[in-house]
Amino acid sequence: MALLVKDGLLNVEKMRKNALSHEQVYSQLRQKRIFHLGQVQRVYIEANGAFSIFLYKNRNLVYQSFLLKTKNWQIHFL
C-alpha cells in the first residue's frame, strides 16, 4: 500500500515508485466522479492495484489554474 494523494497533494515520488502517471491517478478519480484534487483527502494504491479514495465531507472548493512543485509533492489546481 502506498499513499499517492494527501490533502489534495500528489506524492510524485510514490507515484514514480509505483510506475503511475498523473493521468492514471486522474482517471481513477474521474471514474468515481471526482473532478478536483481539492475534494480528495487521501488516495492509496493497494497491494492488488486497487485504489482506495477518501474524500473530504462538505469541502468548499476554490477553483484555480496553476501547478506548484515541491520536493516530493505536486499541487495541481485545475
Where in the sequence is the domain holding 23, given as residue range(s)?
A: 2-77
Count the domains in the chain.
1
DSSP 30-56: HHTT---GGGEEEEEE-TTS-EEEEE-
Q: What's the N-to-C CA distance of the chain in angstroms?
A: 27
Rounded (5°) CA angle 48-44-71: 125
Q: Considering just the CA atoms, what is the radius of gyration of the chain in Å?
A: 12
Residue 11 sits in a domain of what CATH number? 3.30.240.20
Question: Residues 2-36: pLDDT tens digits?
Answer: 999 999 889 999 999 999 999 999 999 999 999 88
Render pLDDT for 47-72 as a digit per residue (tens, 0 to 9).
999 999 999 887 666 554 444 455 56
Residue 46: phi, psi to the nearest 5? -85, 170
State pTM to two decimals. Answer: 0.75
pLDDT higher for 69 or 37? 37
